[in-house]
Amino acid sequence: MRVLVTGATGFVGSHLVQHMLEHGHRVSVLIRAKRGWLDELGNVEELKGDITRPHTLESISKEYFDLVIHAAGLTRAGQIHHFYLANAIGTYNLIRALTQKGHSPGLFVYISTQAVAGPGEVSDGVPEHPINPYGESKLYGEIMIRDAHIPFLILRPPVTYGPRDMDVLRFFRIVKRGWLPSFSKGKCLSLVYVKNLVYALHFLLEKEEQGTYFLSDGSYTWWEIAEVAARIMGVKLRSFPLHPGVLRPLSEVSELYRCMTKRPVLLSKEKLGEMMEDVWICHPSRLSALGFTPPVRLHDALEETIQWYKINGYL
């Protein structure tokens, strides 16, 4: 099977490429310049292009792909409109390039996000109500796909972690110091281990499923996750009193820095808005009904992730 993967140089995309190579597929990747994690993965066909610049996508418009996995996108941005340029318009540009010669892909897989549904407890079929530009722009990407009248499969993972991730790494570094804010005990969320995300996609492809699916390994508080991680790292975990509202002034400083430099910041106003919500839980009811159970459990997933960080000098 011939497969095209976007976002292949990043965290989730690189794991998808690795899985497809291991299963004997011919993999092409759409990249701009930097190879990222591709150097570790083996032989792939590199196609130069940028989904935000439609004139650079000529290389893929001439090809037919049995499967397209669109994992490219922005989770942090220096300017708000960059979310929409990459996640919405970029998706439109990609679909247009793939279909304009009259040969649509066999299946278009879109790695979306739980954020399109918004906070609270959500499940398949609930109305979408994103609360930030990231979630809204990814929802627009979903709409672009549905309106294209091509076979599609949309995955909506929650917070995703695992080897090669550089975002949740910050959480592990805090846990390693043995301290966590007390408000983490009341913040509930769903998680998915990156390998379980890949296994879920493999499961759905084997069953030739289409449509939209939430993914989740389970729901926990940040404190529960930290306790498991702390035991693995051999540290004693303690809490210190901190109300999340204290972070608002820091967020305002971060926003000023973002406005001045046009660079992404860690504590943006969008990220603070997410942190102020107590519940970010999704229930993968459709996926579970098909018989899928995440094969890697929380402890093993955290242990593999922490070990990878240690071996590679990140933790």
Give 52-106 pLDDT, tens digit per residue: 999 999 889 888 899 999 999 988 777 888 999 999 999 999 999 999 877 788 9
Contact 124, 92 (CB under 8 A): no
At 100 the pLDDT is 85
Q: What percent of the chain has pLDDT over 70?
A: 89
Looking at the domain assignment, is residue 51 inside a domain? Answer: yes
The tokens for 72 are 């490219």
Q: Could you report the per-residue pLDDT of 158-172, keeping only the tens digit for each? A: 999 999 999 999 899
Q: Which residues of the chain have pLDDT under 50?
A: none
Q: What is the pLDDT of residue 255?
A: 63
Total number of domains constituting the chain: 1
Q: Is 231 among the domain residues?
A: no
pLDDT at 26: 95
**Alpha-carbon span 77 to 55, nearest angstrom:** 23
CB 8 within 8 A of CB 30: yes
Q: Is residue 311 part of a domain?
A: no
pLDDT of residue 266: 64
The answer to whether residue 85 sits within a structural domain is yes
pLDDT at 267: 62
Q: What is the CATH number for 105?
A: 3.40.50.720
What was the pLDDT predicted at 242? 67
Q: Can you spell out the DSSP letters for 164-182?
A: T-SSTHHHHHHHHTTEEEG
Q: Is residue 68 part of a domain?
A: yes
Report field, pTM of the whole predicted structure over 0.85: yes
The number of C-alpha atoms within 13 Å of 191 and in the hemisphere containing its C-beta is: 20
Structure confidence at residue 156 (pLDDT):
98
Question: Is position 263 within any domain?
Answer: no
For residue 10, is it within any domain?
yes
Give the C-alpha separation, 315 to 312, whole Å. Answer: 8
238-240 and 218-221 as β-strands: parallel, antiparallel, unpaired? unpaired
Given this model, what pLDDT does residue 78 score? Answer: 72
The residues facing 220 across adjacent strands are: 189
Domain that holds residue 27: 2-166+189-220+278-296
Q: Can you give the pLDDT at residue 180?
A: 85
Closest CA to 2 of 107, 148, 139: 107
Q: Is residue 236 part of a domain?
A: no
pLDDT at 303: 98
**One-letter amino acid for residue 171 of the chain:** F
